[in-house]
Amino acid sequence: MAEHEQENQPLKVPTGGYSIDLRDVRKVYRIGHEDVEALRGVNLQIPHGSIVAVTGKSGAGKSTLLHIIGTLDRPSSGTVVLNGTDVSQMSDQAASHFRNGSVGFVFQMNNLLGEFSALENVMLPGLIAGAPRAPVAERASKLLQAVGLGSRLQHRPGELSGGEQQRVAIARALVMAPPILLADEPTGNLDQRTSHEVRELLISVCEANKVTMILVTHDLDLARRLPSQVVMEDGRVVEGGGFA
């Protein structure tokens, strides 16, 4: 085990001004005797505060890339540096600690907990991190107001529309004030108008808070409206990616 991990202190490296910096990232899944190369050498440097769309055909490696950037999975080789922290080979424990404070996620399936209110769902990451209840509740409530749900704090997910649930998920992703937000098809289950609203909301909260966002989508219209685009094909970045 590396020395920095023993101390539970992630390795710090120079950021080069990037929020997200991937060098030759590869991911191979072994299924039986067969290797599936999901990522085949991805290089991606994203400056702080950028808002980037990632598109590409089904199976191109978009979700794999997002999982690896978000420390939910590790690369088979290559390096992943997030705001100056090398997360490529962190232990599970160090990764989950790092992730809770540094990365927010919004997925197509919002994974809200059905037995908790909107407010409680948004508060959860703060409570898991051991933050005192009152300030977490205040921040969660402000975020829910910011996403237009000030009158829905006590509603449970089942008592909210799909678009409202996704707005709760966005508020939850931001409650720890993460510098990085990763969204995988966040509007995939929504009608066109709601999808438009959620997209605009994501862009405005990221701009207002200087959050770096990567948004994976099959919706090319949505992708074109984001300031930068990256296209993936067969485990590689084939367009965009160098933002220097």
Ligand X SMILES: Nc1ncnc2c1ncn2[C@@H]1O[C@H](COP(=O)(O)OP(=O)(O)OP(=O)(O)O)[C@@H](O)[C@H]1O
- Which residues contact Mg ion by CB under 5 A? 63
Least Cβ distance, residue 75 to ligand X (angstroms): 13
In total, the chain counts a number of residues equal to 244
Q: 51 in helix, strand or coil?
A: strand
DSSP per residue, 70-129: TTSS--SEEEEEETTEE-TT--HHHHHHHHHHHEEEEESS----TTS-HHHHHHHHHHHT
How large is the greatest C-alpha to C-alpha distance in the chain, in angstroms? Answer: 54
Stretch near ligand X under the rule CB under 6 A, chosen from 57-65, 80-88, 172-180, 198-206: 57-65
Residue 53 DSSP SS3: strand
> What is the nearest approach in angstroms of Mg ion to the Cβ of residue 73?
13
What is the rounded CA–CA span in Å between residue 126 and residue 138? 11
User: What is the Cα–Cα distance from 168 to 140, expressed in whole angstroms?
Assistant: 10
Stretch that binds ligand X, among 53-61, 81-89, 114-122, 167-175 (CB under 6 A): 53-61
Least separation in angstroms between CB 65 and ligand X: 7
Which range of residues in 18-26, 54-62, 93-101, 128-136 is near ligand X by CB under 6 A? 54-62
70 belongs to the binding site for ligand X (CB under 6 A)? no
Report in angstroms how near the CB of residue 24 gets to Mg ion at its nearest.
22
Q: Is 183 in the site for ligand X (CB under 6 A)?
A: no
Of 10 and 61, CB closest to ligand X = 61
Q: Which residues bind ligand X (CB under 6 A)?
A: 29, 31, 36, 38, 56, 58-64
